[in-house]
Structure 1
Amino acid sequence: MTHVVLGAGQTGRPLAAALAAAGLGVRVVSRTRPAGLPAGAEHRGADLTDVDATIAACAGASVVYHTAGAPVPQWDRAFPAVMASVLAGAAAASARLVYLDNLYAFGPPEGAITEASPPNPVEAKGRLRLHLAELVLGAAGRGDLPGATVAHAADFFGPGVRNSVPGALVLRAVEAGKVPRWPVALDEAHSLAYTPDVAAALAAIGASAGWSGARRRIIAAQAPTGREFLAAAGGRPGAVLSLAALRVAGIFSRGARDLAGLAWQYDRPYVADGTLLRQETGLVPTPLAVALA
């Protein structure tokens, strides 16, 4: 049985390692061979926007994991093309599909985000994410796939993660000896997903033989306040990036403009409740201090 990991980025690499450590056959698919593949893992070079190449790369798979990403400015063009290839590849192999998604499609939450939370996207990125997830769940619902799980994870931090809010505004600043910053509000809880935990959760989902059909799962994560994360990461007080400052900066920076458009993720509690998956797998989030160390 072969577990095929599509994408060799910040979650694809640790996922391949977790699968290999469990004694499973692993094939990693990316444009170029990544450094540090686990012993015994196969690499297959492919452009995931190429349907035929993706079908060939997924041949013989029992489970396909879609972890491939793209720079935010390319989402509209890249993600639909990649998803079409992924669905074709998994269907041709009669493989279950595990798709790693974020939380954008849920929109501004009222309480903790769970599998029962209704989608409510309020901006373009969330609407795109909802569309992609519905394609996955629809394929399984129609029987095109034997099973599909859309696994939702909170903002990433971890080895090699540079461009998330925790990575870019906090950890890179600490590394450079600068004052770390947090968007909008310092004292609201905000779930943060440590990428080795995300990889472990995806591996546990894929390795479990007891599921089929279409479903969502929330990956458990720590939920510190911005102030708590800044203190744990840097041991020093941080600064808040106000919404007004982000809007002004957005005149010159797409990143600031995008972050201002996601202010609803930071001006209230934004907590991913992974209780269901934790009960199914026994996995718990790595303590924040341990993860940061």
Structure 2
Amino acid sequence: MNNASPAPGSSSQLHVVLGAGQIGPRVADLLLARGHRVRLVQRTRRAPERPGLTSVCGDITDLAFAEEATRGASVVYDCMNPPYHLWPTQLLPIARGAVHGASKAGAKLVALDCLYMYGVPDGPMREDSPRRPCSKKGALRVDLEEMRLAAQRRGDVRVAIGRASDFFGANVPLSAWGERFYTRALAGKSVECMGDPDMPHSYTYVEDVARGLVTLGDREEAMGHIWHLPTAPAESTRALARRLGRALGVEVKVARVPRLALRAVGLFSPFVREAVEMAYQWDVPYVIDDARFRETFGVSATPVERQVADVATWARSRYKLAVPSAAPGIPAGAR
């Protein structure tokens, strides 16, 4: 474990980020920009180190490793999320490792969560919405919430939970806006939606997820509570896909994938097999209410026009695309 002294002028605080997938590295970048020391913990390989950042790898379900990996932390960010098909065996154990490590370190714990525990919503989802899971994964998320909040009630650790809807952003391979979206859209094929593409659906911008988690770690009044992270007003999947297409200079068509076809693919893909039970999220208005976060911390979601412009800039570089001569709906200064 590298416990090197901080660079001159940097914060004496150590922040530990658990998980180096779609969100953890973004959290680490924000913390480094604030002058904190950061330790990034992942399961199988070390991240490249740079000034202020150290990296360790190991199994967080090993409580001895969890304690060592979080030693000296002032805040621990749990951004871990195993593949769907491993949730029954890994989801709760890795979260317990995070709770244990933060508790032993005397650190605040900020945990990233989703919306599955609410089940099929009958209106905008708020932090106090009933827990009515309609899936196995939703039931696991109820258990996960209770485990974390029980540790808070016992006084073992101070916990803040930040919940996000489905991710939108640049370089989010495990989302609807990942590699398959771009390869199909750029080939003139329809991109796929697991349900009704015209149903309102909240997508949380990944940069706002990271920024929201760092805000929770910074604010003492966040502890002991659940927060919905800043999310732009919901629009349909088709509308957001078309926005992105216009910014890229391509026409994006969106098609609904029949449930039967999803089940057929699931015979060969563990991920798709587990994803089928979550398709209900696109069959009803799926809208997150982030008012409590905005009113408490004064932090709002990035405007969707800015999100789309930034994602398009990344995609043009990633897929070697020319800048369109005109992108309707996107101000020239935003491209």
TM-based fold match above 0.5: yes
Q: Which runs of 5+ in 1 are unaligned?
A: none
Question: By how many angstroms is 1:18 displaced?
Answer: 0.7
Question: By how many angstroms is 1:116 displaced?
Answer: 1.2
Question: How many Å separate the matches in 1 of 2:236 and 2:165?
Answer: 14
Q: 1:146-169, CA deviations, whole angstroms, 9 ceiling, x for partnerless residues?
A: x21111111112233112223255
Question: By how many angstroms is 1:125 displaced?
Answer: 0.7
Task: State TM-score, norm by structure 1.
Answer: 0.91
Aligned ranges 1:27-106 → 2 under 5 Å: 27-31=39-43, 32-35=45-48, 39-106=51-118
Instruction: After superposing the two structures, state which structure 1 stretch, 104-113 or 280-289, moved more.
Output: 280-289
Q: Could you tell me which residue of structure 2 aligns to residue 132 of structure 1?
A: 144
Question: How many Å separate the matches in 2 of 1:157 and 1:55?
Answer: 33
Give the one of 185, 204, 217 matched to 1:206: 217
Q: 1:50 to 1:278 in 2, by over 3 A?
A: same
> Is the 2:195–2:281 Cα contact (8 Å) retained in structure 1?
no
Question: How many Å separate the matches in 2 of 1:177 and 1:187?
Answer: 20
Task: State TM-score, norm by structure 2.
Answer: 0.81
Q: 1:265 to 1:199 in 2, by over 3 A?
A: same
> Counterpart of 1:61 in 2: which secondary structure?
coil
User: Does residue 285 in structure 1 map to residue 301 in structure 2?
Assistant: yes
Instruction: After superposing the two structures, state which structure 1 stretch, 2-11 or 41-50, moved more.
Output: 41-50
User: Does residue 122 in structure 1 map to residue 138 in structure 2?
Assistant: no
Aligned ranges 1:235-246 → 2 under 5 Å: 235-246=251-262
Sequence identity of aligned pairs in percent?
35
Question: By how many angstroms is 1:82 displaced?
Answer: 1.0
Give the one of 98, 109, 112 matched to 2:124: 112
Runs of 4+ off more than 4 Å? none
Question: How many Å separate the matches in 1 of 2:284 and 2:180?
Answer: 19
> Counterpart of 1:269 in 2: which secondary structure?
coil
Question: By how many angstroms is 1:2 displaced?
Answer: 1.6
User: Does residue 170 in structure 1 map to residue 173 in structure 2?
Assistant: no
Task: Name the aligned partner's letter for residue 216 of structure 1.
Answer: I
Task: Name the aligned partner's letter for residue 22 of structure 1.
Answer: R
Q: 1:5-59, CA deviations, whole angstroms, 9 ceiling, x for partnerless residues?
A: 1111110000001111122222211232224x56312223332121101101111
Q: 1:247-284, CA deviations, whole angstroms, 9 ceiling, x for partnerless residues?
A: 44444444443333123201111011111112223222
> Counterpart of 2:145 in 1: which secondary structure?
helix
Task: Name the aligned partner's letter for residue 47 of structure 2.
Answer: P
Q: 1:168 to 1:109 in 2, by over 3 A?
A: farther
> Is the 1:10–1:159 Cα contact (8 Å) retained in structure 2?
no
Question: How many Å separate the matches in 2 of 1:261 and 1:220?
Answer: 26
Q: 1:261 to 1:61 in 2, by over 3 A?
A: same
Question: How many Å separate the matches in 2 of 1:175 and 1:231?
Answer: 13
Pairwise CA RMSD of aligned residues?
2.0
User: Does residue 221 in structure 1 map to residue 231 in structure 2?
Assistant: yes
Q: Which runs of 5+ in 2 are unaligned?
A: 1-12, 246-250, 313-335
Question: How many Å separate the matches in 1 of 2:131 and 2:50?
Answer: 37
Q: 1:30 to 1:151 in 2, by over 3 A?
A: same
Question: How many Å separate the matches in 1 of 2:123 and 2:50?
Answer: 40
Q: Could you tell me which residue of structure 2 aligns to residue 261 of structure 1?
A: 277
User: Does residue 231 in structure 1 map to residue 231 in structure 2?
Assistant: no
Give the one of 177, 193, 196 matched to 2:207: 196
Question: How many Å separate the matches in 1 of 2:110 and 2:40?
Answer: 14
Give the one of 287, 290, 315 matched to 1:271: 287
Q: 1:208 to 1:172 in 2, by over 3 A?
A: farther
> Is the 2:116–2:141 Cα contact (8 Å) retained in structure 1?
yes
Q: 1:85 to 1:259 in 2, by over 3 A?
A: closer
Q: Which has the larger radius of gyration?
A: 2
Task: Name the aligned partner's letter for residue 159 of structure 2.
Answer: A
Q: 1:187 to 1:129 in 2, by over 3 A?
A: same
Question: How many Å separate the matches in 2 of 1:122 and 1:79?
Answer: 18
Q: Could you tell me which residue of structure 2 aligns to residue 182 of structure 1?
A: 193
Q: 1:290 to 1:123 in 2, by over 3 A?
A: same
Q: What is the number of equivalent residue pairs in this alignment?
A: 290
Question: How many Å separate the matches in 2 of 1:22 and 1:167?
Answer: 29
Question: How many Å separate the matches in 1 of 2:50 and 2:235?
Answer: 32
> Is the 2:169–2:205 Cα contact (8 Å) retained in structure 1?
yes
